[in-house]
Amino acid sequence: MENNFFGEETAIILGLGELQVGKCPMGTIGLGSCIALILHDQRRSLAGLAHIMLPESRGDTDRPGKFADTAMSALLEEMGKAGSTKSSITAIVVGGASMFEFSANSLNIGERNATAVKERLQEQGIRIEHEETGGKVGRSVYYWPEGKGRLIIKRADGTCIAL
């Protein structure tokens, strides 16, 4: 997908349910109830990003980036092929907004997505370095893996944070 946001030829913007592992800048836009999961290996200046839409795959293996369980496995596998170990990986979790008012908590897909991702990270022993989840505002995420990594979160309400 072509983009000019980063001003860099190597930047990648991921769509719904996509994932990417690499050393280039990457991002995803329009996170509502979806989660941007970033796994980062500072030693290798390597990152993996997934735009997760749903908490569980229930056996669907078509698009591993779409689900919390399969995205985590796919990112860890690809980062492992590039030389990362789980002990050197930290995580950033962004998104999971409640975009619609529901009468039943079971329908709050944003909260369910955030919970599923955090549970999977805990199961894998991966520490969450930064988390911005919940609320009622959508977000876009831009990440540069070099060194300690650089993160920009743009919120739909016009606010922006940089880490």
Residue 130's closest CA among 98, 106, 153? 153
Cα separation, 114 vs 96, whole angstroms: 6
Cα separation, 109 vs 87, whole angstroms: 30
Check if 34 is active-site.
Answer: yes
Cα separation, 163 vs 153, whole angstroms: 9
Backbone φ/ψ region at 119: left (φ over 0), alpha (ψ -120 to 50), beta: alpha
Catalytic residue among 34, 38, 68, 97: 34
Q: Which residues pair with 123 in a beta bridge?
A: none
DSSP assignment string, 76-134: HHHHHHTT--GGGEEEEEEE----S--SSGGG-HHHHHHHHHHHHHHHHTPEEEEEEE-
The residues that are catalytic are 34
